[in-house]
Structure 1
């Protein structure tokens, strides 16, 4: 099972997939999801989920980004469905996003009639442009308030409140994440679709979904550097593997063992 680029998306398809995950990453790092989120996405694929990771360039027109991301996904899916791996079968599609990718998934699920069995939104972020891009604070030639994402943070919540139509949604928050805004989105989704949105709080930080489970090889003699590296590996691996388990538990609660 290897990554392949199909119609401008990166795909990873197991031999007998049980579902399809459309993944969108965070701002800037979302341009190379197959690299930045490699470990997590490969683990989901090993558990039977076909991965379609759609890169996108950061910009101010988020509706346009959402529309293009959905269009690329649908084109990629059509190509995959013409191959033996996905031909002739219906598989549920789940949206998975991280940070800004969550906002794009919310817009896809609200504005463009995406056929999704559910969405998982990790570390949802919906900050205005001047906080999301600190450099804008230094642009003295631009009057305050004239540069903003479209839709704005408030408009995004209003769109979700009136149009979000994904039957199940899981918001994932991390304990050491001080830029997560799930607390603003959750009540909107719960009011829009009562009983269909939930939140889970996990160990980790805003970048946990990007972590890699690296293999540190100690030298002939075990040094303090080795000790620190092993500790860092253990902490990162624990949070990342816990995230993987919880995602799989939500995707397939019947098939996951307890504990």
Structure 2
């Protein structure tokens, strides 16, 4: 049965159902572009689908309350597990995989990565205790209210690998470029929660983030980079901070830095080109010169293999391996 790349509206998301899926990739894009993921990220999502994955495109919603948005992704996953299985059976496709939570992946771009990171933190059984050391009682109450309707086993993405593309751990100053106004909102506790500093504290204290991959871009002035660390202060260079923090986990962080800017994951295929909607960049790129999608597929496969590796073996491997952080520019033979 041939795989037809077609997004269907299910629950609050768009889903491309593969007839013989080897996994399910849940994708959350960045601000604005992520609101219409099936358009702006179409080439990337199509390559993931054609590699054998069912793809869930989760539309981005803007809010300063990032805990509530993150928990809403858990609720959506719980609902989609049922709805996709029903739709797959109706189409005559394989459907048993959708009940196995370990077959699900998370993939984010830009701010979408922060929501995924918060879900990873909530998957740590110690999250209420750790949260008290990094935030305040008000945020704990917000989370407890948000998860009250979820089953206990649904408040976790443990065992589900995450792939972060140009991760941006945004706070109020990132959302509002007028610094005085951003600081005023924070002073009255009306800004982004958790803040960048609080989010970094949560990640640092968690024992998870072992099934994590990160792809960065050497000229990214928003998420930061390894190749040009002076473009941003270390505390605001989210890429460099995450690499430093996660390289000593049970599994060393999978990382590759590619040539490009922050909006590299965007694009649709037009002829033999990928058009990325960025007039301040190259705007269009030949498919044969594009490497991102091949790197994404390689990391998804490696993350799946890690998920199936016993933790004792992983610990030994982590002592023998240092993650790569070399900027790369290479060609790709991937076709739409």
TM bin (shorter chain)? 0.7 to 0.9
C-alpha distance 10-232 of structure 1, shift in aligned 2 (>3 A): closer
1:246 to 292, 295, 314: 295
Give 3-state SS (helix, strand or coil) of 1:210's partner.
Answer: coil
1:26 matched to which residue of 2? 30
Q: Which of 250, 254, 273 in structure 2 is aligned with 1:198?
A: 254
Q: Tell me if structure 2 keeps the 8 A contact 1:175–1:201.
A: yes
Find the aligned partners of 2:12 and 2:302 in 1 and give their Cα distance.
32
Normalising by structure 2, what TM-score?
0.64
**What's the CA shift for 1:205?**
1.0
1:166 Cα offset (Å): 4.2
Q: Deviations over 1:196-231 (max 9, x none)?
A: 4122101111001112232279xxxxxxxxxxxxx8
CA 1:253–1:128: 2 relative to 1, 3 Å: closer
Aligned equivalent of 1:77, options 78, 81, 96:
81
- 1:113 maps to 2:156: yes
Matches of 1:64 and 1:140 in 2, distance apart? 20
CA distance in 2: counterparts of 1:201 and 1:46, whole angstroms:
24
Matched, 1:170 2:213: yes
Q: 2:270 aligned to 204, 214, 230, which one?
A: 214
- With structure 1 as the length reference, what TM-score do the two structures score? 0.82
Partner Cα distance (1:19, 1:140) in 2: 41
User: Do structure 1's residue 233 and structure 2's residue 276 form an aligned pair?
Assistant: no
* Aligned equivalents of 1:33, 1:254: Cα separation in 2: 23
Which residue among 130, 135, 158 is the counterpart of 2:201? 158
Unaligned runs of 5+ in 2: 123-154, 224-237, 274-281, 305-331
Instruction: Give the SS at the match of 2:284.
Output: helix
Q: Which residues of structure 1 form unaligned runs of 5+? A: 218-230
Shift, 1:141, TM fit: 11
| Cα distance change on mapping 1:104 and 1:7 into 2, 3 Å | same
Pick from 15, 18, 24: which aligns with 2:19?
15
> Contact (CA 8 Å) 1:106, 1:164: kept in 2 or not?
no
Q: Is 1:36 equivalent to 2:44 in the alignment? A: no
Deviation at 1:253, TM superposition (A): 4.7
1:87 equivalent to 2:95? Answer: yes
- Cα contact 1:175–1:202 (8 A) shared by 2: yes
Number of aligned positions between the proteins: 239
Contact 2:13 2:58 (C-alpha < 8 Å) held by counterparts: yes
Q: CA deviation at 1:164?
A: 5.7
Report the counterpart of residue 104 of structure 1 in structure 2.
115
In structure 2, C-alpha distance between the alignment counterparts of 1:30 and 1:234, rounded to whole Å = 21
Query: CA–CA distance in 1 between the matches of 2:193 and 2:184?
Result: 17
**CA RMSD, aligned part only?**
2.7
Partner of 1:234: helix, strand, or coil?
A: strand
